Amino acid sequence: MAAAGGGSGWGVVCEKFRTARMLSAVESRKDPETEPYRSKYSARALLQEVKQLLSAAEEGGEARLLAVRRAVLEYELGVNHTDTEELSAGEEHLQRCTQLLEPHRLSPDCVSLYIQAQNSLGILWSERDEIKTAQTYLESAEALYNQYMKEDGNPPLDPSEHFMTEEEKLTDQERSKRFEKAYTHTLYYLAQVYQHLEMIEKAAQYCHTTLKRQLEYCGYYPVEWALNAATLSQYYLSKQCFMESRHCLAAASVIFSQAGQVPSAEDNETEQDQQDLRQRKAEIARCWIKYCLNLLQSARKLLEDNIGELDPDRQSELKAQRKKEEDEKEKGRKKAVLFGTSDICDSVLAMEEKVSSVYPLDFQEAREIFLVAQNYVQEAKEFFQVDGYVTDHIEIVQDHSALFKVLAFFEEDYERRCKMHKRRVDMLEPVCADLNPQYYLLISRQLQFELADTYYEMMDLKVAIGNRLEELDSHTIKKINSLAQLAIKYYELFLDSLRNPDKVFPEELEEDVLRPAMVAKFHIARLYGKLITSDSKKQLENMQTSLEYYTFLVDYCEKYPDAVRAVETELELSKEMVGLLPTRMERLRAKLCPFI
């Protein structure tokens, strides 16, 4: 057998090698559950045969060529053992591969194999949870790619070509594609390593580059790609980079839509596959909801004054500033983040145009974003239904409620604002009523508190509407009282959930419920003060209850000074009321019984 390449003997060796790879990559997918590694073991046996045939040919062969071929076999055996969960054996083979290649690692016939061996060692160590070691291998692969591209740059040989006859060799274009794919893997694994090490910014940067390259070289599965892009969008969201976040989501939606069109490897899609697709689609919809909600909430923060109302001067100022900035900013940042080839870009652009990435500064702009989000809410709820997905479903309802809440901020008309809060009540109440607090205590508390807050806000709006009237009519009085009573009911339910099994309220509150509990007490105090009654005796009772709640706050903060930080504003007002209320009550008592 001519080791350097000629002769039928070499053809037999190449055939065995090709069969081994075929068994590993294709046949192994069909292995029965009882023998999950059957094909992998057959492939291993063939690779060992090839290794022996090579050894027999060593005397007459060229040492360098043989070393590289042996390295290819060590690499294949290393990956094979890793796949069958024999990590130590896998590591040995991969180490042998890199040792054989070390002196020639920058030459075109070795560089791709060396990088792939480093990648595999990186994966192997991360499977052992040795993330730092994995990082070393992967960063060394990255550095080698960069050095090779700088010093040589020609498409290097693919490892498989070392076991091909001359006429089977690959074109430069195919070599380049495979080499770039190996490097994309390096970046993909590095992104995960940085994520593990909590180097979040670096992880996002590498994830972005990976996604970009996968599109460029058409090496991706649409569903997986779309989910990674949607996840990356949430990172940009946390950084308030709305344009980049929207771009990732638009790309995710466009690429995901290919999932239905591209035949999968096993094209006999099961009901389970369809179910998975529906779930992934709903997950991307949820990322869009978060995007819209965050954009609206961030705009509110910019526009609100110190009592949480829209500041018209700030609004005019921001509108003028936006006009000036808009043009330069779009051009500059677009270049940095664009995904994909021109046809994909066009679809992504069309998708982006459906929703803004700049802060909405008035009701009309806010409403457009709100409506986009509301469509995604429907889409997400179609999959995440109450039966089977309780927590997911409720989170989506809570997001829907939060969308109405932030839209109400932009609405100037108090009556219409009240109607928006009513929509929140209508969606939250049935969910809250059906929930068993025994199993879902945390969510139950969140819903009770949000319902109380919503009724509280509606009561405040009705009071503001009433203040504009010449005289309060009985209908408005009834409405104000009814809303106040409902707010009290839900705040009390929330506070009751903090009691122990013997119904005793905790002496000292846990950190996570301290502020909500204090706010609930403060709001109840204020609500009793808002109840309207012509019965002075009843009024006196309400004032007494109000005083008790204000006093609770003051006493608690005296006993636990650490709590002051959580409720500074409320505490200040409570102290004031504890000073004022007894005098007011005295006056009312004097009116009631003038002869005492």
Q: What is the pLDDT of residue 265?
A: 47
Over range 220-239, report the average pLDDT.
Answer: 92
Q: What is the pLDDT of residue 88?
A: 95
Cα(314)–Cα(463) distance, integer angstroms: 26
Q: Tens digits of per-residue pLDDT, 442-458? A: 999 999 999 999 999 99
SS3 assignment, position 557:
helix
* 432 in Cβ contact with 448 (< 8 Å): yes
Domain regions of the chain by residue span: 12-259
Q: What is the pLDDT of residue 55?
A: 79
* 449 in Cβ contact with 502 (< 8 Å): no
User: pLDDT band for position 4 (50/70/90)?
Assistant: very low
What pTM, to 2 d.p., does this model score? Answer: 0.82
User: pLDDT band for position 268 (50/70/90)?
Assistant: low
Query: Mean pLDDT in the chain?
Result: 90
What tokens were used for 197? 């090490």
Q: Which residue has the tokens 């983040």?
A: 337
Over range 507-513, report the average pLDDT.
Answer: 93
| Phi, psi angles (nearest 5°) of residue 138 | -70, -40
Q: Tens digits of per-residue pLDDT, 63-73? A: 888 899 999 99
Cα(379)–Cα(401) distance, integer angstroms: 16
Side chain identity at 164, as an amino acid letter? M
Q: Tens digits of per-residue pLDDT, 298-312? A: 999 999 998 889 999
**DSSP code for 262:** S
CA distances from 107 to 3, 117, 579 (A): 21, 15, 85
Work out the burial of residue 499: count CB atoms within 10 Å of its CB; fewer than 13 is exposed, 13-18 middle, 19 or more buried: exposed
Q: What is the pLDDT of residue 261?
A: 58
Nearest to 425 by CA among 393, 459, 380: 459
Cα(418)–Cα(580) distance, integer angstroms: 31
Give the residue with greater pLDDT, 337 vs 416: 416
Please give the radius of gyration of the chain, using alpha carbons only, rounded to the nearest integer.
Answer: 34
Cβ-based neighbour number of residue 416 at 10 Å: 11
Give the residue with greater pLDDT, 453 vs 168: 453
Q: What is the pLDDT of residue 330?
A: 57
User: pLDDT band for position 7 (50/70/90)?
Assistant: very low
Helix (H) or strand (E) segment spanning residue 97: helix 87-101
Q: Tens digits of per-residue pLDDT, 101-125? A: 999 999 999 999 999 999 999 999 9
Residue 253 Ramachandran class (φ > 0 left, ψ -120 to 50 alpha, else beta):
alpha
Q: Tens digits of per-residue pLDDT, 371-421? A: 999 999 999 999 999 889 999 999 999 999 999 999 999 999 999 999 999
Q: Is the pLDDT of residue 202 over 80?
A: yes
Nearest to 295 by CA among 377, 237, 362: 237
**How far from chain centre, in Å, is Cα 590?**
62
Q: What is the pLDDT of residue 484?
A: 97
Over range 515-541, report the average pLDDT.
Answer: 95
Over range 353-375, report the average pLDDT.
Answer: 96
Q: Is the pLDDT of residue 331 over 60?
A: no
Q: Is the pLDDT of residue 356 over 80?
A: yes
Over range 525-541, report the average pLDDT.
Answer: 94
User: pLDDT band for position 590 (50/70/90)?
Assistant: confident
CATH (residue range 12-259) = 1.25.40.10
Cβ-based neighbour number of residue 560 at 10 Å: 13
Q: Tens digits of per-residue pLDDT, 54-94? A: 877 665 558 888 899 999 999 999 999 999 999 999 999 99
Q: Which residue has the tokens 């950084």?
A: 239
